[in-house]
Amino acid sequence: MVDYRQIITIEPGKRGGKPCIRNMRITVGDVLGWLAAGMSFDDIVSDFPELTKDDIYASLAFAADKENRLRIAA
């Protein structure tokens, strides 16, 4: 299992503070959007060779962790 904390970075001045991949300008949201659009891991890595499959797994793990932390305000 990939530890997303070693891959996902957040910098206030980069991409509006959105979570990015390894200090790049590619955001977790970008990766999730590509997956949602039907791109495979291989498609993404082919189009963006600076990314690895572990980067994609880290994006998914980050999103899952964020989802698990959501709380409904009562």
d(CA 7, CA 71): 25
Could you give the dihedral angle defined by the CA atoms of residues 38, 25, 19 and 9, in that order, rounded to the nearest 10 degrees?
A: 120
Walk along the chain (74 residues) and give the pLDDT tens digit of each residue.
Answer: 789 999 999 999 999 999 999 999 999 999 999 999 999 999 999 999 999 999 999 999 999 998 887 666 65
- What residues make up the domain containing 11? 4-67
Return the DSSP state at 24: S
Q: Is the pTM of this model over 0.85?
A: yes
Provide the pLDDT for residue 74: 56
- CATH number of the domain to which 51 belongs: 1.10.10.10
Domain-embedded: residue 60: yes
Domain-embedded: residue 47: yes
Domain-embedded: residue 74: no
51 touches 45 (CB < 8 A): yes
**Total domain count, the chain:** 1
Tokens 């979570």, residue located = 19
